[in-house]
Amino acid sequence: MLTAIPPNIPPPQVETISPTLTRDDLVEEVKLTIISHPYLDDTMNKIRQEPIPWEEYTNVGLISENEMAMIKHVENKSVEELEPIMTEHGRYYALLYLELMQKLARVDTLQKVLVLIHDMLNEHEERIYLFHEAKKDNPEFPFGPFHKVLSINDEFIGIQSSKLLTMLICSTSHRDINIHEFFRWITFQLQSRQQHIVDLNIQILDALFHVPEYRTAFWETPHAIDTLVSILKANKHSDPQKIYELTFAIWLLTFDEQVAKNLDKKCKIIPVLLDYAKSTPKEKVIRVIIATFKNLIEKAPTENMSAMLVAKLLPFTEHLATRKWSDQEIVDDIEYMITELQQNFQSLSTFEVYASEVETGRLHWESPSHASENFWKQNANRLNEKDQHLLRLLARLLSTSTDFTVLAIACHDLGQYVKYSSDPNSKSYLQSIGAKQRIMELMTHQDAGVRYQALCATQKYFAMTT
């Protein structure tokens, strides 16, 4: 393995890779996150056994006699056998491998070169600096050759070159100017049907997100954050390590203020993370989720607090406070969240709570706003604000939700709206956004509660004069 420290516990306060760090410090940062999979190990073992006709390449001028001799000197050598060779000639091998990556095109030879690089770095991550030094010989080094081969349609070349590219990116204060292109490539890989491809790319993101600028770059990549969150939502029954790696990536992203402000608005991440925290038996998963919530509160309280209260995060954190934890940091984070949530709960207006319910799609009969005639007398007209924003969201819930309770409450609320709104156009608003037709369709719904609320809403609609 190229990395030796598994991410069982999130490193505390991972915030940045400073340009002032020494080379050794940067190498240690890389080792914080493991990037490994049995698929890679098995494939590399098979590639080692496949002979490459280096002599033929020499004959046609693709490689020189000296390059061939250097390759044959290290091919299939053990870690121990490579030690003295790399100690004396490591810089020349780093330069050789980068040049081969740049000029060769055959899949089998590129696979072999990637294995040679792996063997050079195996148990010696500090040798990564030799590849950075190659920049003196070619300004496209060390990143360029790895970006180039990502376009080759080969699974192993793609994942191994992206793994090595990640090690290079995370072991220098110099920023990769092609990082947006790399994130587009990763986003495509995250949509693979091959689970090992998805798993490895999540590990790669866990490493890259240690660099603050790259969190922003990922957020700005089209479809990137949606793809990552969709994987999280689809893997509720996966093993805890995979859930941890996914939530670890989300946590690192939320150190970015732009991400913290917009993540829940865009992806409805708060209820998803809360569900995982409730269902997981693993402390490390709960810890990273609570740390994510803390980031969302610290970085963007205005944008996230209402959604947290609607999702009932306060009673959950109060429950967590009664449990025993092995790490003081999670205890501190829980106490911080309880304090902040309690203070905001007291200052939040009833309508703000209701608006957050609608925006998150988490409607509950327990909320006093639904049953209160007073609430609707005072607030029905507010559903027309911002171009009928809340009204349109309720209508959308009628068409998209599969939760019977949500459907019933949405019908009820739209009935109350048309009953108490003083706007003479309220009925035409419902008709123009499709709510009237959908409510009438729900009068034949399989659930009795939905049918009843749809019937009541229809009666109110036709009882009110235009």
Q: Among the listed ranges 171-185, 286-300, 352-366, which one has the minimum average pLDDT value?
A: 352-366
Of the chain, the percentage scoring pLDDT greater than 90 comes to: 75
Domain boundary among 316, 348, 380: 348
Q: Looking at residue 30, what is its pLDDT? A: 43
Residue 31 reports pLDDT greater than 60: no
Residue 210 tokens read as: 């240690």
Closest among 461, 393, 464, 389 to 431, alpha carbons compared: 461
Same domain membership, residue 441 and residue 327: no
Domain boundary among 121, 148, 177: 177
Q: Looking at residue 365, what is its pLDDT? A: 87
Are the C-beta atoms of residues 291 and 10 closer than 8 Å to each other?
yes
Confidence of residue 345 (pLDDT cuts 50, 70, 90): confident
Are the C-beta atoms of residues 146 and 165 closer than 8 Å to each other?
yes
Q: Among the listed ranges 141-145, 147-151, 243-247, 310-314, which one has the minimum average pLDDT value?
A: 310-314
Same domain membership, residue 160 and residue 54: yes
What mean pLDDT is predicted for residues 201-224?
A: 95
Same domain membership, residue 341 and residue 362: no
Are the C-beta atoms of residues 184 and 145 closer than 8 Å to each other?
no
- pTM of the full predicted structure? 0.79
Q: Looking at residue 174, what is its pLDDT? A: 86
Instruction: Please give the C-alpha separations between residue 5 and each of 2, 27, 388, in angstroms, as whole numbers.
Output: 10, 12, 52
Domain boundary among 315, 348, 381: 348
Residue 11 lies in a domain: no
Same domain membership, residue 120 and residue 41: yes
Same domain membership, residue 153 and residue 56: yes
Q: Among the listed ranges 64-78, 211-225, 367-381, which one has the minimum average pLDDT value?
A: 367-381
Alpha helices in 75-150 (DSSP H): 79-103, 107-121, 128-133, 143-149
Q: Which amino acid is at 161?
A: S
Same domain membership, residue 319 and residue 384: no
Question: Range of 325's domain?
Answer: 223-348
Count up the domains in the chain and report the number. Answer: 3
Same domain membership, residue 144 and residue 42: yes
